Structure formats: C-alpha cells, structure tokens
Amino acid sequence: MLFRETEEGWVEDAKLEGHSDWVRDVAWAPSLGMLYPTIASCSQDRRVIVWKEIQGSWVPQVLHVFEDVLWHVSWALTGNILAVSGGDNKVSLWKETLDGDQWVCISNLSKGEQ
C-alpha cells in the first residue's frame, strides 16, 4: 500500500497488487532523470515488478521471473539500473530499453566472482 500525508494524517493512496507471495523488498527509484515515479518490488514468488505511476495509476511491469526466491532490489543513483539479488547468491543488473517496453539484464555476478 502507498500512503500520502493529509492535514488529517496519513491516508491510503494506492494498493499495489501483483505478487503472489511475500514481498521481501521495495525500492523507490531516484527521481533524477525518471519520467514517472517508479518503484521496484521483489518477492518470494521469484518475480521483480517495476511499478510506474502514469496519469495517477500505478502500472505494473514484470521485469523477470527468476529461478529462486528474491531478497533485495536497489536502484543506481541515476535510477536507470536496477540491481536484484536472491536465494541463488547471484546479483544481476537490469536496464530498461529505450522504448520502455522491456528490461534487459546487462550483468550477472555469482557468489565468489569478481
């Protein structure tokens, strides 16, 4: 759920539903260079979902379905690269294509690699 602050206090602004299991991490993308407010979430359902607020609605896009449970998502300072890590002891870096239609893996690192 997303909340916004009003004069009366905090009120629910939106409910983001897309994962089928426990959500393990959520990360807001830095607003620098981003066209829309953007959030990434990862879950035990092995999926990363990138959420963009477009014209007042949060639109989900499944980045990828991974082989193992996911634990962490983290944005680069510029907001254009997303790091994903999970139970397989791997970290992958993802970047959105220029047309915004999909995300591509630009790097993979396994435990013990440098």
**Cα separation, 107 vs 112, whole angstroms:** 15
User: Quick one: pLDDT band at residue 20, thresholds 50, 70, 90?
Assistant: confident
* Residue 62 in this model has a pLDDT that exceeds 80: yes
Which pLDDT value is given to residue 35? 78
Higher-confidence residue of 32 and 6: namely 6
Please check whether residue 61 is in contact with residue 28, taking contact to mean a CB–CB distance below 8 angstroms.
no
pLDDT at 8: 86
Instruction: Name 6's Cβ contacts closer than 8 Å, sequence gap at least 6.
Output: none
Q: What angle do CA 56, 50, 34 make, to 5 degrees?
A: 65
Token pair for 15: 């409910």
